[in-house]
Structure 1
Amino acid sequence: MLNSILPTILFFDHATYARACHQALCGASPNEFTALGLIAAIGCIGAYFILHWLRKRLWADWRRVYVVCLYFVPPLCVLLLFALSVAILGEWPSTALLSIVSLGTSLLFTMQIPAVALELVFRPVRPLRLSLRCLTVLLAASGFFALSQPERDINEVVAAARALDIDIGFFRLNLASLAEGVATGVVVVVIAHGTVNWLGARLRSSMHLPPNFSLAIRRILDITVWTIAATIVLQRAGIDVKAIATFVGALGIGLGLGLQRLAASYVSGLIVLFEQSVRVGDVISAGGIKGRVTQMTVRYTTLMGADGVEALVPNDALTLNTVLNQSWSDDNLRLSSSVHIDIASDVAMAKQIVVGVLREQARVLAEPQPAVYVADIADGRIRLEAQFWVADPANGQLNLISDINEVVLRSFGEHRIRLAPPLPRLAT
């Protein structure tokens, strides 16, 4: 990588600079190195406080400007302190030492420009941001080391790194290919992560795709993007992708026997998402669990019960078992409520009162019309059962039945409709 990047960013001969760099490093006194280290340390400390001050003022509204400052403020602080020391101390640093500092800073700036562009465009998460920033420093240090070898050309330095073999299990790598694979891996992962997030946001905001389709397509895109990214990284690292494919295939056969239930859940998840047999917001009953669907992933579906407890149901349970979906064609749900009245009470009046109460409830649908039936006559009791429909079962069922019962009890008292007395307990 260095043998292709460095010649395009340097405007002087490598051999000439390498000899000057070697002479400066050999001729510099310990005091000069100590002074350089002190300047670098003070510059970094000053950059920390400057960035801390800028973060308070730029993070909320000018986050991208702060990201640019985060990369370029530290080396600029070191350069300014170095220039200030030259202005104060006069001929303290030699010309060769000045060229070393200027080249090192130029290399760092050059490596940071694509890193800043990647971070601004793809917005990686914190671990990826830190990896990207560390990579710029390592690449600049590697370039500085390669250019400071007076007896070798850059190609010779890279060839020497390729000659250092590293054995990792079944694979044999060299130092250059391993370093190139790590560097490529950081860049590719940042791009893949940003691409996946961008595509996911576009699919979520799409008004033309059902939510289930959007989720299924996102999962397929995730697998596709990360597979391509892994292939690119392995190829740049010098690892034979065909050998890995053979190894993974053999491993997959063994794992497939033990993880077939997990694989079935993933496949079933895609089937459920594309068929839309279950959607977020539906009220379903599956595997003896009833609740409202709050989340769907490729592996499981989350059901929230009436008590607020969430259950994670594997997706294969939705394809292999019978699923009761109250919201399949619409959200209408029939509810019922019963009341026992005395056998001597006016049944017609009681039915009229209950129907009137149902029609006064805003959540009870007018069509289909609510109705009251004489469901049972036994032991001097008459059981009236009211049946009615609601269009918003997610807003609660027991609260509506409770409101209806309270109004019915009050109306029965006003019209002298007597409730049936409790049945006598059997002697034990």
Structure 2
Amino acid sequence: MDQVSPDMINAAQGFWARIVLFFEIMLVPTRLYQLVAVAALLIVSWLLARVASRFFTDWLRHQANWPKWRLRLGLLIDRRMTLIVFMILAWAVALVMREITWPSRSQLIALAATIATAWVAIFFLARVIRNRFLRRIVSWAAWIWVTLYLLDLIQPAANFLDTLAITIGDLRLSALVVLKALAVTGLMIAGARILSRLITGRLSRNEDISPTMRVLTAKLLQVVLFSLAVIVGLKAVGFDLTGLAVFSGAVGVGLGFGLQKVVSNLVSGVIILLDKSIKPGDVISLGDTFGWIEELGARYVSVVTRDGKEYLIPNEDLVTGQVVNWSHTNNFVRLDLNFGTSYGDDPHKVSEIAINAALTVKRVLAQRRPVCWVTGFGDSSVDYVLRFWIGDAEAGLTNVRGQVYLALWDGFVENGISIPFPQREVRVLNEAIGLRRAGWEEPGQGPLAAESGRDD
């Protein structure tokens, strides 16, 4: 790192001199009252914002039917209520004073209103950056830059930041370059995110492209756009990327060994998208997990079950494990119900009643007619299996089974078909109980022993 150089000292002195000159100009008697007016507007804005925020928050709570983006916008307005109120009051005062007096007498108030307007605009525009840390960096950089620009201090500040630098070989890295790189790269990433959303939305509405190809195209597009955003952003500020080639190669080798599972999941995700074995909307079973695929991520697959639980299953498990895809080639699913009737019921009639009962359930497909077969003769019943098809497994399996069972019950009750159940008969020997009560409990004693002796 370079030691303190004369250029750095001169730049710092020049920057400080411009700041001192600015405040000397501001503190002249003809402009001092404007500073007092700005301070008074800040106090009044803070008081008004506190009162307005209560009513505004209560009003937002009653807008339950609003879409989420409107509610979020309302919350953002509430967070910056003081600044917004100050901006409105400052512009109103400045415009009124320009009508009744000289424009120079409201110059500082108009300048404060301009800075407040720029800060509000930056606050809302920065919302397009989802990453909170990156959004804060871009917001603070933009607020500082626009403030220095409006105060005509941008060039002295740039000269001072450019002197704060370190030199590594032929690479000179200054604070000015770093700040420019962060700001430009953040804006490029935000632009890439917006463009990616627009293209992904267009792809999702294109019925000519399969769901897996839509997801694959969107993921590849995101990787390309974000990579270009970083590269273009760094090159735009003059950052030399050739010096990072060897370093990035070494880091890549280290990450390859340390992040094997992550890389495996990423590659498995690409394989899933290419072979089209799983796509959004498919109904799958993996172990005890049964649900439909909500989203295909780069590292995992989101599976939502009927009870509202969302499982994040790694892509590697779906590639290497056994997965039941209920809707891979088509949406038809066959279900089996086992039941039994008594031997006194006609099996032909029972089969006909069972088939007709299944057809009364709306989700059972009539074009794939149910069948009912005798599967065996049990100890107390004739055993049957009822097989039927459905075309909407994502709507659940247990509920349609329950509906068919209820239809079977109603059909059997209506036609007098009985469903046997195990019965147990308990016999109580009164003579043995009476003997025990009389005291003949020991073996070899009493009338029973004498009777057994006569048999011998």
**Aligned position for 2:144:** 138
- The answer to whether the 8 Å contact 1:336/1:388 transfers is yes
**1:287 shift after superposition:** 5.0
- Residue 376 of structure 1: SS of its match in structure 2? strand
Task: Output the amino acid matched with 2:148.
Answer: S
Q: With structure 1 as the length reference, what TM-score do the two structures score?
A: 0.71
> What secondary structure, in the 3-state scheme, does the structure 1 residue paired with 2:385 have?
strand
CA distance in structure 2 between the aligned counterparts of 1:121 and 1:396, rounded to whole angstroms = 43
8 A contact 1:286–1:323 mirrored in 2 = yes
Larger CA Rg, structure 1 vs 2: 2
Match of 2:232 in 1: 232
Instruction: Indicate the residue corresponding to 1:363 in structure 2.
Output: 363
Per-residue deviation, 1:246: 2.6
Instruction: Please list the CA deviations of residues 5-63 of structure 1 after superposition, one character each: whole Å capped at 9, or x if unmatched.
Output: xxxxxxxxxxxxxx999877557757667544323333445667599979979x979x9
Q: CA deviation at 1:244?
A: 2.8
Q: CA deviation at 1:120?
A: 7.0
8 Å Cα contact 1:331-1:393 kept in structure 2 = yes
Deviations 1:147-177 (A, max 9, x none): 69xxxxx5x8755542321479x97521322
1:183-210 deviations in whole A, cap 9, x for unaligned? 3234323323322332233223333333
Q: Determine the structure 2 residue equivalent to 1:349.
A: 349
**Alpha carbons of 1:247 and 1:101: their partners in 2 closer, same or farther (altered >3 Å)?**
same
Say what the alpha-carbon RMSD is for the aligned residues. Answer: 4.9
Partner of 1:41: 39
- 1:310 is displaced (CA, Å) by 3.1
Measure, in 1, the Cα distance between the counterparts of 2:147 and 2:391.
67
TM-score, normalising length: structure 2:
0.67
Structure 1 match to 2:402: 402
**C-alpha displacement of 1:374:** 0.8
Quote the Cα distance in structure 2 between the aligned partners of 1:23 and 1:294.
61
Alignment correspondent of 2:8: none
Task: Note if contact 1:146-1:157 (Cα within 8 Å) is conserved in structure 2.
Answer: no
- The answer to whether the 8 A contact 2:138-2:182 is kept is no
Do the aligned partners of residues 105 and 37 (structure 1) sit closer, same or farther apart at CA in structure 2, a change above 3 Å counting?
closer
Q: Tell me how far apart the structure 2 counterparts of residues 341 and 80 of structure 1 sit (CA, whole Å).
A: 87
CA deviation string 1:321-378 (max 9, x = no partner) = 3332111121111111111222343222222221221233332222322111110113
Residue of structure 1 equivalent to 2:336: 336
Aligned in 2, Cα 1:213/1:117: closer, same or farther, shift over 3 Å?
A: farther
Q: Which residue of 1 aligns with 2:216?
A: 216
Amino acid at match of 1:402: G
Extract unaligned runs of 5+ from structure 1.
1-18, 149-153
Residue identity in the other structure for 2:37: I
Task: Sort the Cα spacing of 1:240 and 1:51 in 2 relative to 1 into closer, same or farther, 3 A.
Answer: farther
Aligned residues: 391
Q: Does 1:203 align with 2:203?
A: yes
Partner deviation per Cα, 1:56-80 (whole Å, 9 max, x = no partner): 79x979x9xx9xx999986685476
Of 390-399 and 236-245, deviating more is: 236-245
For residues 68-147 of structure 1, the aligned pairs below 5 Å read 78=90, 81=93, 101=108, 112=118, 134-143=140-149
> Which residue number corresponds to residue 311 of structure 2?
311
Offset from partner CA, 1:221-247 (integer Å, 9 cap, x none): 222222122223333455432333432
CA deviations 1:103-124 (Å, max 9, x no partner) are: 9679959x959x9699779955
Gaps of 5+ in 2: 1-16, 60-68, 426-456
In 1: Cα distance, 2:222 partner to 2:345 partner: 68
| Amino acid in the other structure paired with 2:282 | D
Q: Which moved more, 1:180-189 or 1:325-334?
A: 180-189
SS of residue matched to 1:368: coil
Deviation at 1:387, TM superposition (A): 1.0
Inter-CA distance 296–175: structure 2 relative to 1 (3 Å threshold)? closer
| Change in CA separation of 1:131 and 1:37 when aligned onto 2, cut-off 3 Å | farther
* TM-fit CA distance, 1:259: 1.4
Cα gap change, 1:51/1:223 in structure 2, threshold over 3 Å: closer, same or farther? farther
